[in-house]
Structure 1
Amino acid sequence: MTSATATGAAGFGRTLRLAFRFSAREMRGGLSGFLIFIACIALGVAAIGGVNSLARAISTGIETQGRDLLGGDMRFQLVHREADQREMAFLHELGEVAHSANLRSMARLPDGSDQTLVEAKAVDGLYPLYGELVTEPNLPLADIFAARGGIHGAAAADMLFSRLGLEIGDTIRLGDADYELRARIVSEPDAISDGFGLAPRLLISLDALEASGLIQPGSLVEHAYKIRMPAGTSEADIQAVRERATAEFPEAGWSVRGRTGAAPSLSSNVERFSQFLTLVGLTALVVGGVGVANAVRAYLEAKRGVIATFKSLGASGRFVFLVYLVQILMVAGIGIAIGLVLAALMPPVAAGFLAAVFPVPMEGGVHWGALGFAALFGILVTLAFALLPLGRARDVPATALFREMGFDQRGLPRPVYVVAVLAIAAVLAALAVFTAGDRRIAVIFVTAAVAAFVVLRLVGVLVQWLARRAPRMRGAALRLAIGNIHRPGALTPSVVLSLGLGLTLVVTLALIDGNLRRQIAGSLPAHAPNFFFVDIQSGEVDAFADLVEAEAPDGKLVRVPMLRGRVMALNGTDVRELDVPPEGAWVLRGDRGITYARNVPENSTLSQGEWWPDGYDGEPLVSFAAQEGRELGLKLGDTVTVNVLGRNITARISSFREVQWESLAINFVMVFSPNTFAGAPHSWLATLSDPGATPAEEAQVLNAITRAFPSVTSVRVKDALDIINGIVAQLAVAIRAAAAIALVASVLVLSGALAAGNRARIHDAVVLKTLGATRRTLIKAFSLEYALIGLATAIFALIAGGIAAWFVVARIMTLPSSFLPEVALSTLLLALVLTVGFGLVGTWRVLGHKAAPVLRNL
C-alpha cells in the first residue's frame, strides 16, 4: 500500500467516525418522521423471513422425522400387484419388512341405507415400524383388529363416524365383509407418506382386507413395503440399496423412497407455496421501499437548515452523505430487527392453524438462514431507495438550501449513485431468481415488478399531462384540484406508485381466486359427470352397465379400460436423469392412469399425427396429450417406456391430442393402441352424466350400485368438488393474507407520501385562505384531487391485474378466464376510500394550521 493510499484510507476512517458521532447526536431527537419507514421495512422483512422460516421448519421437520413419516427407513411401493418371491427375498435382506395395502372403496351401513367413500388401509402385525398409532380408546392393534364372532375389527377417522352417524361398537360393511368400529384414529404416524385422500381413513388388517373380496385382478391397490434397516444405516447405504434395486429389478416398476424423502409431494408443494409468498413479501418490501424514499426525502427536507449549516462551516458533500446514510441505516436496522422478531414468531403461530388442516411436521427453533435472507433483502431495499435522495442532498449548495424550500430538484444525482442503485437492484433481482425453486416464475415476477414501476411512473406522468391540458373548469374547487395534480412537487407520482402496486396485486389475486371458485362451483359441475365409478371388474362391466341403464335411463354411461403405469424412460433415457420443467414433471412422478382405445376419445381432438387403424397389430403405439407432450419436449416418433404390472412396455408416439381437462370427463395423458395390453388383467373406469338428476335420484343410483357391486368405488363429483372448494378456500385465506400485507405496505407508503406533502399543502392552504378561499372550498378541492388520483390508480390496477390474472388462469392453469365486475367495483371503492380518506385526515390538520408563522416566512 502506498503512503497516499494509506493517508486516504486513514482520512476516510476519521470522516466515517465523525459521521457516526454526528449521526448519533442527531438521533437523540427520536424517530419522529421515521415511523412509516420502520413499519414498511418491518412488514416486508417479517413477511419474507416468516414465510421462509415456516417453509424451513416444515422441510426440516420432514427430514428429521423422516422415519416416522415414512414408516420405515425405506419404502417400496407397487400398484396392482404384490411383490413376488424374489422381490420379497430382496426386501427381507434389507431388514424388517412391514406390508400394508391402500385402496379406495365404499363403506356402507349393514342395512344398505347409507354409504360413503373411504380410504382403506390394511396393515400387518408389524405396523407401525416407527412412530406411534394413537387411537381413542388407546387399544393395542391386536385388540382392534381381532376377529370376534366372524367380524373383524377396525379403527376409523372421526369423519367416517360423523358421515354415517356411527359410534364406537357399530358395524359397517366393506366389500363382502362386516367390520366392527372399535376405535377412533387420533394420530396416524405415516399418514403424510401415504398421501392425503379425499375420504376418511379406515384402518384394518391385511387378513380383514382379504375377507372383503375387494382385491381382484386389475384392482387399484397400492402395496407398500416399509423396511426397518439395521442401526447405523447411512444415507449412502440407502442410496446404494436404491441403485441395487434398480439394477437387479429393472422391470419391477416400484416407487422407492428413503427416510429423507418421506413426503416429496408435500415438500414440493411447500417449496412452491413458500416461493409464491416470498415473492409477495418481496413485493410488499419493494412497495415499502417507495415509503423509504419518501421518508428519506421528507427527513432531509426537514434537515435542510442543518445541512446548509454543515456546508457553510466547510463540511464536504461526502461527509453530509455519510452522516445521513448512517442515520438511515440505523433506522432501517430498527425496522429489520422488529421484522425479524415477528418472522421468528410466525412458525409456532402458524403451526396451530395448520394442525387443524393437515398434520404438518415442524422443527422448532430459530431458522437463522431464513432470517438472514430476509435481513439482507431489507438492507438492500433500504439502500436502493435511499441512495438517490441522499445523493441529491450531497450536491445541493448551501445557498440553495437557505434560499429555497428544499432540494427536490429535477434530474438525477451523480452517476456513482445511479450506478450503485442499479447494481443493488440487479443484486435484488438475482437473489429473487437464483434462490427460487421455479426460476421461470421468479423471472416473470422480477420482470413484472420492474415493468410495474416503469408503467406506474408513466401513468403518473400521463395523469399530470392530462390535468395540465384539461379545459378550464367553472368550479373553483375543481380548478384547484386539477391544478394540484400537475403542479411542481405534486403528490401524483408518489400516490400512483405507492397505491398502484398494492392494488394491482390485490386485483390479480382476487381475480384468480374468483375464477377458480367460479369454475369449481359453476362451470365444472355444469359440464362434469355426476359420478365416477372405479374398479369395475371386467367380468362385471356388462352387468354394471345394465344396472346403470335401469336406474338412470336418461343418463349417459361412458366406460373405458384402466390400468396404472409408471413412466420409466423417454427415448430410452431414464426419467430420473431428465431435466424437465416443473409444469411437466408431474407426468413422470408416481403412477399414472393409462388406457387403450380403438378410436379417438370423444372429449379430445387429434392435433398432430395419425390414429391407428381398426384391428392394428403392429408395434405398440401411444397417443400423448399435446400440452404435456410440449412440456416434456416430445415429438412424433419419440418413444415412451411405461411399467405396467411389473413389465416394461415401450411404445412409439403416433399422435398428439388436445385434451379438455376442465370437462372432468375421462381423460388420460397416454392412450395406447389396443394390442399393447392384450391379455393383461385390468379393471374399468366409468362416468355417469345425467344433468337432470335430482339429489334424491343420485342417492338412489349410488345406493343401488353399492348394494349390487360392493367392490366398485363410487365417487359423487359434487362431493369431491365440495372438498376441493374447501381446500381452495383454505389456500385463499393464506393468499389473501399475503395480498393484505402488500396492501398494508401500500397504505403505509400512501400515508407517508401524503404526510411528506403536508409542508407544501400548509403553504398553499394559508395563501388561499388569505386570498378568501373558505375551508369548505379547500376540503372540496383536496377531496376531488385525491379522488381523481385514486380513480386513475384503480383503473391502472384493474387493467394490469386483469392481464396478470388472465395469464395465470388461462395460460398456466389452462382454465377459462373471465373478468369479475364485483372485483372491479370493490377495487374502485377501495382506492377512493384510501386516497380520499387518508388525504382528508392530513388535510384537516393542514387547514387547522395558523397562518401567521407561514406568512412571516414568505
Structure 2
Amino acid sequence: MHGTLSGSPAAPGRSGRLPLVLRLALRELRAGLRGFGIFLACIALGVMAISGVASISRSLTEGLAREGRKILGGDMAYSLIHREATDRERAVLGARGNLSAIATLRAMANAGDKGSGLVELKAVDRAYPTVGELVSEPPLPVEELLETRDGVPGAAVDPVLLARLDLKLGDRIKLGTADVELRAAIRSEPDKIAAGIGFGPRLLVSTDTLRATGLLQPGSLVRWTYRLDLPSNAASDADLTRVEAAIAREAPEAGWEVRSRVNADPRFARNIERFAQFLTLVGLTALIVGGVGVANAVRGFVDGKRETIATLKSLGAPGSQVVAIYLVQVMLIAGVGIAIGLALGAALPFVLAGTLGEALPIPIAPTIAPGELGLAALYGALTALAFAIGPLGRAHDVQVSGLFRDQIAPERRWPRRRYVVALVLAVGALVAISVATAFDRRVAMTFIAAAAGAFVLLRVVAVGLMALARRLPRPRMAAPRLALANIHRPGALTPSLVLSLGLGITLLVALSLIDANMTRQLTQTLPDKAPNFFFLDIPNSQAAEFDAHLSAEAPGARIQRVPMMRGRLVAIKGTPVAEIKAAEDIAWVLDGDRGITYAQSLPEGSKLVSGQWWAPDHTGSNLVSFDERIGRGLGLAIGDEITVNVLGRNITARIANFRRVEWRSIGINFVMVFSPNTFAGAPHTHLATATLPEGADPAREAAILRDTAKVFPGVTSVRVKDALEAVNDVVSQLILAIRGASTIALAASVLVLAGALAAGHRARLYDAVVLKTLGATRGRLLLAYALEYGALGLATAAFGLVAGSLAGWLIVSTMMQMDFTLALSGAVIAAASAVLVTITLGLVGTWRILSQKPAPFLRNL
C-alpha cells in the first residue's frame, strides 16, 4: 500500500498520466469548492484591487503618452516665465519646425456692477490649435471667435464664469484696460491638462488682445510657451532628443523649461504613479487581510479532511505526500480566485472609460497590461502560499490517532522546517516584490513594517486574552462561566477572531482618522490661518499706492507685501539639476520655476536655524537664504553655491544661512530669499496678502475685489477661499477614490471575520451537541456565545482604536505633513460597528448550529 500511494513506476501504456499527487488532488476537487467561498472571495478581492489599480494607472499613463502631442500642442514646448523669447531665441526654435506661441496668466475679469472674478487667461496666436480641436458653443472657428469687430476683440469663456458673474454670450467685460466681447462658451480645450490646476475659469483671447490689455508689465507673472511642430520626416523620439540638444547649445542661457510629447506632463504622470502606489498598498492590505481568511479557510478545510488524512496515512501515505495533495488543491483553488480577480481588474479601465471617459479630465487609453496583471497574479499566489502552508504543514507529523483526537484537543506544534522555510520564502518574496515595484520605497517599507507589527501585536493580544481568561475567577452563573472557558480552551476561536477583527478595526479606525484630518485641514484649519486675499502682479512703481488703497478699503487689515519674481534652479554646487536625484518630497523644488524674492531682514514666519543674516546694506557677493529641510535634502551646506535662471539670466549665489519656514500658514513663504543686491535694477512686481480683522465676510470680500479691480486693473486678486475650493475639488476626488479602494479592504475584513467564525463551526457544533445533551437550553447557549464574542470584540476594539490611531497619526503627520487631531467620534463608531457585526455574525452561525438535532451527531462521536 505504501508503495502504491507513494507513486510506483508507471504501468506500460500509462506513462502519459498525471502525477499521483495531482491526480488525487483533482479527484478530491470533483466534490466542488464548497467551503472555499470566502477563500475565493478574499483572493479575488485582493487581486482585483491590485490589478485594477495597476491597469487603470497604465491606461492613464498610456493615454497621456498617446495624446502627448494634443496635450502639449506640438512635438516640443519651450516655456519662459516673466518674458517673451527674444528674436534670436524665436529664430533658434523656428529653424527646427513650425512655431506657435501662447501666453498664460491669472487676471481679473471686471463685469462692472455684476462684480469681478479671477480667470485663467490664455492668449493664443493664429496657429492655435496646432493639434486637436477647440470645441465651442456656438461652434465657431478660433479666428472668428477672437477677431476684432467694431474695435472690440472677442473671447471664448468657460461657462462657469458666465454663471458666476451672471453674464451671457454677447456681453462685454473689462480685461485690464481693454474691453472684450464674450462670443462663445468653451466646451473642450485640447491642451487643458498642460495648464495644471486652475484657480479660476478659462478665458481665451488672442495675443494681440493680451497686449492691448496693459497686463504685460515688466516682471508680470506670465508664462510664454513656444510650441514646436517638427517636420513629419524628423519627428521620431531620437529626433526630439537631437533637437533639444541642438537648441540647448545655441541658446544655453535662455532659461526655458522644456517638454516633449513623450513627457507632455511629467508632474501629472508622477502624481498618477504616486497615487497608484497608495491605492496598490490599499489593495495589498486587502490581500494580506484576505490572507488571514485563506488561513482560516485552509484550517477549516484540514479539519474537515481529518478522516481522509487519517485514512491516507493509515494506508501508508507519507506526511509530505498528504501535504502536497492538499497544497495542490489549495493552490488550484487559489488559481481560480486569482483568475476571477484578474478578469475583474483587467476590465476596470474599460468600464471606467465607457462610463466616465467623457467626464475624466485626462485621457484614458484602456489597455490590457500583461506585466501588471502578472504581478497581481504573483501577489495572489504568494499570499495564498504564505497563509496556507502553515495550517497544511501541521498535518505532516500528527499521528493517525492524533488526527482524530485533534478534534477536541488540538496539538500545538510548529510545522517541519521545510514548511517554515517555504513560509519564510513566500513572505520574503512578497516583501521583495512590494519594495522593488514601489514608487517610494520608504513608504513601502513603512507599510510592510506596520503590517508585520500588526500581526505580531494581535497575536500577543490573543495570547494575553487567553492567559487572562484562564486566570480570572470562575463565575457562578453558567453562561458567563462557559463564555470565559470558551476564550481560553483548546481550539478556541480567540487567536483567529482577534487577528481577523483586529486587522479590520485597525484599518477602519486609521481610515476614519485620515479622512477626518484631511477634511478638517482643508475645510477648517487652513482658512483660519490663511489670509483672505493674495494680490499678484502689483507694479513696482505702484506698490506704495496699492498699500494705501488696500488700507483704505480694509481698515485694520493685516497687510504683507514682498517683491516677487519667478526663477528656476539650474545648478546646485555646479551640478546641473537634471543630474541630481533628490528624494520625492524634495524633488518638486527642482521641477519648473519657483517664486523667489529678496529681503533686507528675516521674513515674517521664518526662523533662522543656522548661519547669519546679511546686513541691510549688503553690497558684496550674491547671498541666498534656503529653507532648511529642503536644503538639507539637497545636500546643501552654508557656503555652497546655487544657480538660478531669472529673466533669461543665470545668477549664482552663495548660501548664507538656513531658515525654518511655516508652509502650512499659507502666508508669503519662499524656498529661496536673496540679498537685495542680487536683483538690483531687475524688473519685478510685488506680491501682497491681506488678512481682514473680522475674518471672512463674503460681501466685504466681494466689494474689495470689485473696487481693487477698478483702480488697479492689472493686479490679480485671488480670494483664498476660492483657491482652496479649487484644491478641495481635486482632493475630494482623490478621497473618493481612496474610499472606494478602502471599501475593498474592508469587505475583505468582513469576509475574513466570517471565515474565522465559520472555521470554528465544527468545534462549536461538537460543544453544542454535548451541552444540549446535558440539558443546556438554546437561550443559555446563545447568551454564553454572545458574551464570548462581545468580550473578544470589546478587547480587540480597544486594541484596534489604539493601533488605528497610531497608524493614522503616522500617516497624517509624517507622510502627509499635516497637523493631527484625534477625532475619535468616527473611529469609535467604526469600532463599535465592527464589534456589533462580530456578535451578529457569530450568533447567526451559532443559531444554525443550535438548530441541529443532537442524535445524528452523537451516533458519529
Per the shorter chain, which TM-score range? Answer: over 0.9
Does the CA-based 8 Å contact 2:394-2:413 persist in structure 1? no
Shift of 1:566: 0.2
Within a 5 Å distance, the mapping from 1:737-776 to structure 2 comes to 737-776=740-779
SS at match of 1:166: coil
C-alpha distance in structure 2 between counterparts of 1:355 and 1:470, whole Å: 61
Letter in 2 for 1:711: G
Matches within 5 A, 1:49-68: 49-68=51-70
Q: Indicate the larger mover: 121-130 or 241-250.
A: 241-250
**Letter in structure 2 aligned against 1:164:** L
- Of the structure 1 ranges 487-496 and 529-538, higher mean CA displacement relative to structure 2 is found in 487-496
- Tell me the equivalent position of 2:802: 799
Counterpart check, 1:809 vs 2:826: no
TM-score where L is the length of structure 2: 0.96
Shift of 1:854: 2.9
- Determine the structure 2 residue equivalent to 1:75: 77
Measure the CA separation in 1 of the matches of 2:9 and 2:204.
74
Which of 376, 399, 402 is the aligned partner of 1:400? 402
CA deviations on 1:266-311 (whole Å, 9 max, x unpaired) are: 1011000000111110111111111111111111211111111112
Q: Whole-Å Cα distance in 2 between the matches of residues 268 and 293 of structure 1?
A: 37
- 1:672 aligned residue: 674
Gaps of 5+ in 1: 1-6
Where does the alignment leave 5 or more consecutive residues of structure 2 unmatched? 1-6
Deviations 1:383-434 (A, max 9, x none): 1111122212232222323454289531211101100110111111110011
- Aligned 8 A contact 1:79 1:564 in 2: yes
Deviation, 1:9, is 11
Matched letter for residue 155 of structure 1: A
SS of 1:78 mapped into structure 2: strand
Separation (CA, whole Å) in 2 of partners of 1:846 and 1:269? 52
- Picking from 627, 647, 652, the partner of 1:650 is 652
Could you say which residue in structure 2 is the equivalent of 1:187? 188
Q: Does 1:370 align with 2:377?
A: no
Deviations 1:637-690 (A, max 9, x none): 121111100011111111111111111111111111111110000000000011
Structure 2 letter corresponding to 1:724: V
Name the stretch that deviates more: 121-130 or 558-567.
Answer: 121-130
Count of paired positions: 851
Q: Which moved more, 1:133-142 or 1:312-321?
A: 312-321
Residue 154 of structure 2 aligns to which amino acid in structure 1? G
Q: 1:156 to 1:406 in 2, by over 3 A?
A: farther
2:782 is the alignment partner of 1:779: yes
Deviation of 1:691 (Å) = 3.5
Preserved contact between residue 393 and residue 407 of structure 1 (Cα < 8 Å)? no
TM-score, normalization: structure 1?
Answer: 0.96
1:527-538 superposed matches below 5 A: 527-538=529-540
Name the counterpart of 2:723.
720
For 2:358 and 2:115, the matched residues in 1 are separated by 28
Question: Residue in 2 aligned with 1:513?
Answer: 515
Which moved further from structure 2: 412-421 or 815-824? Answer: 815-824
1:594 is matched with: 596
The C-alpha deviation readout for 1:5-46, integer Å capped at 9, x for no partner, is: xx9999999996122222222111111100000000000000
Deviation per residue, 1:537-571 (Å, 9 max, x gap) = 11111111111111111111110000000011111
**What does 1:382-401 correspond to in 2, within 5 Å?**
382-401=384-403
Deviations 1:327-364 (A, max 9, x none): 11221111111111110121123336765764211112
Which piece of structure 1 moves more, 254-263 or 484-493? 484-493
Offset at residue 800 of structure 1 (A): 1.6
**Given the alignment, which residue of 103, 106, 120 partners 1:104?**
106
**Whole-Å separation in 2 of the counterparts to 1:26 and 1:183:** 70
**Counterpart residue number, 1:523:** 525
Going from structure 1 to structure 2, the CA distance change for 1:660 and 1:277 (only over 3 Å counts) comes to: same
With over 3 angstroms needed to count, the CA separation of the structure-2 counterparts of 1:354 and 1:805, relative to structure 1, is: farther
Contact 1:793 1:831 in 2 (8 A): no
Would the alpha carbon gap of residues 555 and 19 (structure 1) be closer, same or farther in structure 2, given more than 3 Å must change?
A: same
- Please tell me the residue identity of whatever aligns with 1:607: V
1:19 corresponds, among 21, 24, 38, to 21
Does the 8 Å contact 1:794/1:827 carry over to 2?
no
- AA aligned to 2:108 is M
* Worse-matched range after superposition: 541-550 or 190-199: 190-199
Aligned residue for 1:798, secondary structure, equals helix
1:172 aligns with 2:173: yes
The question of whether the paired residues in 2 share the 8 Å contact of 1:491 and 1:753 is answered with: yes
Counterpart AA for 2:152: I
- C-alpha distance in 2, partners of 1:8/1:219? 87
Q: Does 1:118 align with 2:105?
A: no
**Aligned partners of 1:719 and 1:194: how far apart in 2?**
18
8 Å CA contact 2:105, 2:121 repeated in 1: yes
Write the distance in 1 (CA, Å) between the matches of 2:478 and 2:632: 62
In the alignment, residue 134 of structure 1 is paired with which amino acid?
V
Q: Cα gap change, 1:610/1:836 in structure 2, threshold over 3 Å: closer, same or farther?
A: same
Q: Relative to structure 1, is the Cα distance of residues 9 and 217 closer, same or farther in structure 2, using a 3 angstrom cutoff?
A: farther
- Higher mean alpha-carbon deviation, 39-48 vs 776-785, is at 776-785
Match of 1:205 in 2: 206
CA deviation digits over 1:564-587, x for unaligned, max 9?
Answer: 000111111111101110010011
Q: Is the 8 A contact 2:78 2:259 kept in 1?
A: yes
Query: Aligned to 1:679, what secondary structure does the other structure show?
Result: coil
**Which runs of structure 1 show a deviation greater than 4 angstroms over 4 or more consecutive aligned residues?**
7-16, 352-358
Percent of matched pairs sharing the same residue: 54
> C-alpha distance in 2, partners of 1:14/1:843?
49
Matched, 1:835 2:841: no
Pick which of 763-772 and 448-457 moved more: 763-772
Q: 2:110–2:706: 8 Å Cα contact kept in structure 1?
A: no
**More displaced stretch, 313-322 vs 341-350:** 313-322
Distance in 2 (CA, whole Å) between partners of 1:551 and 1:524 is 24
Contact conserved, 2:135 with 2:186, CA < 8 A, in 1? Answer: yes
Partners of 2:373 and 2:703 lie apart in 1 by 57
Give 1:733's aligned residue.
736
Shift of 1:722: 2.2
Match of 1:3 in 2: none
Question: For residue 315 of structure 2, what is the aligned residue in structure 1?
Answer: 313
Q: How does 1:273-284 map to 2 (within 5 A)?
A: 273-284=275-286
Picking from 551, 554, 573, the partner of 1:552 is 554
Segment drifting more, 479-488 vs 639-648:
479-488
Q: Is the counterpart of residue 844 in structure 1 residue 847 in structure 2? A: yes
Q: Distance in 2 between matches of 1:803 and 1:18?
A: 51
Match of 1:449 in 2: 451
Q: Deviations over 1:240-291 (max 9, x none)?
A: 2222333332221100011110011110110000001111101111111111
State the shift of 1:808 in Å: 2.3
Mapped pair 1:641 → 2:638: no
2-side partners of 1:836 and 1:643: how far apart? 66
Please give the residue correspondences for 1:211-360 in structure 2 after superposition, counting only pairs within 5 Å. 211-232=212-233, 233-351=235-353, 355=357, 358-360=360-362
Q: Which residue of the partner structure matches residue 3 of structure 2?
A: none
